[in-house]
Structure formats: C-alpha cells, structure tokens
Amino acid sequence: MSSPPQPRSDFTFPWSVDHDPRNELVEKLEQFYRLCRLRWRFIEAFRRAARPELRRLGHALDQTIFAGALIVVPKALAGWEALRPVLRAQARALLPFIPQATAEDEAIARDPAWEILADFQTLTQDQQDKAARNLALLWDHFEKTFGGLSGFLAEPQTEQSLYLGKLTTASRRMKLARGSEVAFHFVTVELMRLYVEGFMLGRRDRAALALASTVSVLIDRGRMMTPALTHDSTTGSPSAQAA
C-alpha cells in the first residue's frame, strides 16, 4: 500500500543542497577561468602603469633617430656624390659597349618640360580636353595683350618678367591640385609658362621643342572645341610662329 502524498511544504531534495556534488572538469574550468581573469587584470594594470614610461621612451627614441638621421643622411649623400663619379668611370671602363649618360643628358632628363608633359599624359581624356580649352583661352588672352609671340618678345624685359611672374605664381598655387580631379588647371598654366619662357630664352633643345609642339597642338584643339574664340588670321597660328 502506497504512502499518502506528502504536503508540498514538507518536500525535501533527496540530496543536500549545501553539498551539491560538482563535476571535476567543471571545477578545473572555473579555476582556469579565474586564473585567466587575474592574469588579464594584472596585465591591464601593468599596461596602464607602463604607458607613460613607454610614451616617454618612444619620444626619446624618435628624437634620437631624428638626430641620428640629421647626422648620417648628409654624410651618406656626400659620400655617394663623391663615389658616384668613380663608379661611373669604372662602369664605363668595364662596359664600354653600353652607352653612358653624360651630365648634359642627365640635365635634359630632369628638364621641367618632360615632367609637365608626363603630367599631361596622366590626365584622363576629359581632363586633357579641359586643359586644351583652358590653354586656348590663355593663348587668346596672350595674343590680345601682346599681339602674339613677336609682340611679347618686343616688350621690355620688365614686362616679359612680369607676365611670367604671374604665370609662376598661379602655377605654384595650383600645384596643390596635382594628381587630383582638377589637376588640369596646374598642367594648363605650367604648359603655358614653360612655352612662353622657352621662346623668351630662345630655347631650341629637344625638351623645349617637344613642349612647344604639344602646346601648339593643344591650342588648336582647344579652339576647335571652343567656337567662340576668334583668331586673327594675320597673326598666324602658334605652330607657324614656333617654326
């Protein structure tokens, strides 16, 4: 015969709550977790304490490296400049069949004309079209002001220098846009400056002729895209004057 049901208030667990059997693996995991927390707290406290010292050490290291660079770099460059002619002479003696660049060739390669022509080639087609239109506008203003290259060259030296100075100032200001979507502004002004300066100095070298040819083509191209521009037939095209 079954015993009568016990009242709910008299219900007890079949084991002691205060001595709940624990799984050994769970206990080890909890112990490992506590150790990890203590370790991370220690690391965090050490990091906070060491942060000011690390900052001072980094600043001192930066100053040391910078000071060392100021001493070492000039000496290294001076040493290279002294060693370069010797290496060039040895290379020329060992490899006489390889053409060696002369000082004149190096100077021509560093000519600003090549640099600005390279900048023009990096422009997109739309940017090149804008540069051509702007160059045509600049040339139209130049012709109205001086009557063309012959009129400009007939002006006093002060007037020529004043005009080139304005182009130089504009070029320096627009150089900040180099490599951007509005880089064509800088390219336009610099092409015009070097073009006029080349005629002013009477340059006939390869870089000046390449730039003059490019500018002449761009001016004609810009005029074709800008019908509003008028051109005096008696003045002649820039290409004719350049020839």
pLDDT tens column, 197-211 = 998 888 888 888 899
Lowest-confidence region among 93-97, 124-128, 189-193: 93-97
| Residue ranges per structural domain of the chain | 23-94, 111-225
Per residue in 70-107, pLDDT (tens digit) is 566 666 766 766 776 777 666 666 666 555 555 544 55
- The vertex-197 CA angle with 194 and 198, nearest 5°, equals 85
HSE-up of residue 64 (Cα within 13 Å, Cβ side)? 6
For residue 192, name the pLDDT band (cuts at 50, 70, 90): very high
Return the structure tokens found at 21.
């059997």
Are 194 and 213 spatial neighbours (Cβ–Cβ below 8 Å)?
Answer: no
Question: CA 178, CA 216: separation in Å to the nearest integer?
Answer: 23
In the chain, the N- to C-terminal Cα span, in Å, equals 130
Burial of 192 (0-12, 13-18, 19+ CB in 10 A): buried
Has this prediction a pTM greater than 0.75? no
